[in-house]
Copies of this chain bind each other. A is one copy, B any other.
């Protein structure tokens, strides 16, 4: 889904995109719909060696294995980037094992869709979304600039930079904690027929309760410490509200509601579009 969305956006801008995917149907679909120029299900040394930029959309551990096993095919001077959802456990390892004549610069497109596969890919997904370049001290200005430029080509609304540690803390909060909350909300109450009564609030808070267990369980565990820290922050705030309710502290509850309302204004999409 994300790889296909990248391919669509890049092809549309005139870039020559070649793709490797283990799934034959995905490659056939991408070729047939002119999403890519060339495609294969095998590691193709000639195809890899012809690429100036290689973008990885893989599970973190498979990404690392692939680099270990196949980096000898990269063109000298190639820029490697990715879309991986956690960085601490990936960036340093990949930079350490990579050949000196190539450069890996990490990136994270903050856009997703609960439906998987190339048929749900959509380059418009990025137009209102944030894109984060995640460099380390090892990265050159040139590679950072190439990586930012990919975000510009794909028309992300906002491009910024974070260190791997800051990225993982942020992602533990805005993405992983929200998924933990959605899952817990979805599974904590077994009352039947709730779907006959519910309003949109519950639907909004559980959209992401539909979750790919293979990918997300890996992402959670790879970012365990940051995520547990964010869960703790949330639990403390939630317990505080619980206490105010128990004590019928109306003014305290109202104050929290005002702070919540005020802070939420920062996150309006309209603001991003300006």
- Whether A256 pairs with B197 at a CB distance below 8 angstroms is no
Q: Which residues of B contact A213 (CB under 8 A)?
A: 253-254, 257-258, 261
- Whether A184 pairs with B241 at a CB distance below 8 angstroms is yes
- Whether A184 pairs with B111 at a CB distance below 8 angstroms is no
- Whether A264 pairs with B197 at a CB distance below 8 angstroms is no
Q: How far is the CB of A269 from chain B (nearest CB, A)?
A: 7
Interface check A20, CB cutoff 8 A? no
| CA gap between A214 and B258 in the complex, in Å | 10
Q: Which residues of B contact A187 (CB under 8 A)?
A: 237, 256, 259-260, 263
How many monomers of this chain does the complex have?
A: 2
Chain B interface: which of A50-58, A72-80, A142-150, A175-183? A175-183
Number of interface residues of A (CB under 8 A): 89
Which one of B160, B206, B217, B228 lies within 8 Å of A257 (CB-CB)?
A: B217
| Interface residue SS majority, chain A | helix
Chain B interface: which of A11-19, A41-49, A244-252? A244-252
20 contacts between A and B (CB under 8 A): A112-B199, A170-B194, A174-B199, A178-B205, A180-B238, A181-B181, A182-B205, A183-B256, A186-B259, A186-B260, A189-B233, A194-B267, A195-B271, A204-B208, A209-B261, A210-B265, A211-B260, A212-B257, A217-B257, A224-B245
Chain A residues proximal to chain B, CB less than 8 Å:
110-112, 129-130, 132, 158, 160, 162, 169-170, 173-175, 177-189, 191, 193-214, 216-217, 220-221, 224, 227-228, 230-231, 233-242, 245-246, 248, 250, 253-254, 256-261, 263-267, 269, 271-272
